[in-house]
Structure 1
């Protein structure tokens, strides 16, 4: 099954990307659900559409939807979920997409259970001795640490942080902190609060 739709000058293309080691469960009922809202006024979001597909795609795929606005910046909120036998396979996250001109293409990195896509500050050159440490912990309790990783690359970047879903409380919120190891400076990191296991 392909979610690839024909590109045109009035469409927005969203490339959904999953980690290389993600494999959809075989057999059973499969479903992909994509919901998109326009949220220029957060108090009155406008439903753009909801799409359902009776399958799950691994790796990367591109989904196109109509953008019927010209000469105006539009902010969309995108929610995507993969279901196997009615059980969610992705963390519940909303993605913000700002479109000023079409055609517009953007990649959204999805986080399956056990994987959290982390983005650490704007990329910049960092010497090896200033490697970045990222910690995943209970919200508001940095001492209740679940995972700690050090990025030894010469560039602070985005990556998938793996965690054990069996150690996660359903419905509980978790957060991230990041520091550089040389000066112990706090770095910007996303996402913010996130439920790592649905209720």
Structure 2
């Protein structure tokens, strides 16, 4: 295990959106990316990036990697805002770097689209090999979407759902079934919040101001012990 190198190496990430997703061009737009290095002991901020427009399609993003001969785990969160409303599901993407240079594609999930990864099926017929169900956590019979895929397309794809039928802030589950033997398959993500509970982001300053405005006024005669 080596110490931090003097010269930073670069990790190259390609963010990918669904081909038929069209980001709005009007209004107030913003792209925000945060990169953190995570380990069992602590989390370290690596990069915070803001761009005053929405970046669509496939685009490249880079951040420094200052280690060698050691595996490092990074957590990447990204959000697209249109008129202060989030357009992406709130998900953390993890990148494990064993050696630089490192390149990786991260598939983003806009609201209404969910990028799904399925355990690769084996020894099953190619036609409708897997059924994927997006449903309520407590009630698997209450489905939002159901699709069947063959062996070639079942490993990763975008699953569409109607956000109007989703309860904001509620988490939903994914289930994968192999159709021949009806065995469960590993599906990622296992559960996900399909529509954020709070749609509008707030800065730390605006949150403090709103909290101050909502608190009852204190009289000057209050004791100092009550003032915090």
TM-score, reference length from structure 1: 0.90
Q: Deviations over 1:152-183 (max 9, x none)?
A: 35453100000000000000000100011111
TM-aligned CA distance change 1:54 to 1:155, over 3 Å: closer
Q: Deviations over 1:111-163 (max 9, x none)?
A: 00100000010365742246100000112321221111111354531000000
1:10 aligns with 2:23: no
Match of 2:165 in 1: 167
Following the alignment from structure 1 to structure 2, what is the Cα–Cα distance between the partners of residues 127 and 67? 44
Match of residue 80, structure 1, among 51, 56, 78? 78
Following the alignment from structure 1 to structure 2, what is the Cα–Cα distance between the partners of residues 122 and 153? 8
TM-aligned CA distance change 1:154 to 1:126, over 3 Å: farther
Following the alignment from structure 2 to structure 1, what is the Cα–Cα distance between the partners of residues 152 and 102? 31
More contact order relative to length (CA 8 Å, sep ≥ 6): 1
Following the alignment from structure 1 to structure 2, what is the Cα–Cα distance between the partners of residues 75 and 123? 28
RMSD: 1.7
1:25 aligns with 2:24: yes
Higher Cα Rg: structure 1 or 2? Answer: 2
**Unpaired segments of 5 or more residues in structure 2?**
1-6, 198-228
Following the alignment from structure 2 to structure 1, what is the Cα–Cα distance between the partners of residues 121 and 96? 20
Question: Deviation at 1:59?
Answer: 1.1
Match of 2:93 in 1: 95
TM-aligned CA distance change 1:126 to 1:17, over 3 Å: farther
What count of residue pairs does the alignment treat as equivalent? 191
Match of 1:149 in 2: 147
Following the alignment from structure 1 to structure 2, what is the Cα–Cα distance between the partners of residues 125 and 10? 42
Q: Deviations over 1:82-123 (max 9, x none)?
A: 000110000000011000111100000000010000001036
Given that 1:137 and 1:176 are in contact with CA atoms closer than 8 Å, whether structure 2 keeps it comes out as yes
The structure with the largest strand share of the pair is 1
**Unpaired segments of 5 or more residues in structure 1?**
1-7
Runs of 4+ more than 6 Å apart: none
Match of 1:61 in 2: 59
- For the residue of structure 2 that corresponds to 1:141, the secondary structure is coil
TM-score, reference length from structure 2: 0.79
